[in-house]
Amino acid sequence: ACLSHSKSLSDEENLKLFGKCNNPNGHGHNYKVVVTVRGEIDPVSGMVMNLTDLKEYMQEAIMEPLDHKNLDKDVPYFSEVVSTTENIAVFIWDSLQELLPQGILYKVEVHETEQNVVVYKGEETIVK
C-alpha cells in the first residue's frame, strides 16, 4: 500500500496532485520491478553476474522490505518520503547499490501499471 498524500499539502492540493491515488489511509498496488545490470561478461560463466546472486540481492533489497507492506507505516524510509512510484524506484536503487558489486547496477524500472512506468538510473528519473 502507498499513501500518495503529503502531510505538507492541504487536502485540496493533495487531491489535485495525486488524483484518484490520493488517500490519507493508503491504497494498494501490485508493482513489477525490473533490474538491469551491466558490466564485463565473465569468460567462464558467460554472465555479467550470477543470476542466482542477483535474485538473492533483489529478495533482500526489494521483497523483504516492501512485499505485502503498508509502505508508509511499515517502511521507515517512507515515514518522511511520499511513497510515489518515483520514490519507490529510488529506494530500490539505493538498497541494491548497498548489496551489488560497485558499478554493476544500470537501472531500476518500477511498473505501477502497464502505462505508468518509472525508470531510475541513479541520477535521473524517467517517467514513461
- CATH number (domain holding residue 92): 3.30.479.10
- Mention every residue, 6+ apart, whose C-beta is less than 8 A from residue 1: 26, 27, 28, 29, 69, 70, 71, 72
Residue ranges making up the domain that contains 82: 29-120
In a domain, 45, yes or no: yes
The pLDDT, as a whole number, for residue 70 is 85
User: pLDDT (tens digit, 9 = 90+) per residue, 27-76?
Assistant: 577 899 999 999 999 999 999 999 999 999 999 999 999 998 888 889 99
pLDDT of residue 20 exceeding 80, the answer is no
What is the average pLDDT score of the chain? 85
In a domain, 79, yes or no: yes
In a domain, 127, yes or no: no
Which letter does DSSP use for residue 27 in this model? Answer: B
Number of domains in the chain: 1
Res. 1 pLDDT band, cuts 50 70 90: very low
The pLDDT, as a whole number, for residue 114 is 87
Q: Which residues are tagged catalytic?
A: 21, 68, 112
The pLDDT, as a whole number, for residue 63 is 96
Contacts 24+ apart (CB under 8 A), 73-82: 73/26, 78/2, 78/3, 82/3, 82/4, 82/5, 82/6
Greater confidence (111 vs 26) lies with: 111
In a domain, 1, yes or no: no
Is the CB of residue 73 less than 8 Å from the CB of residue 111?
no
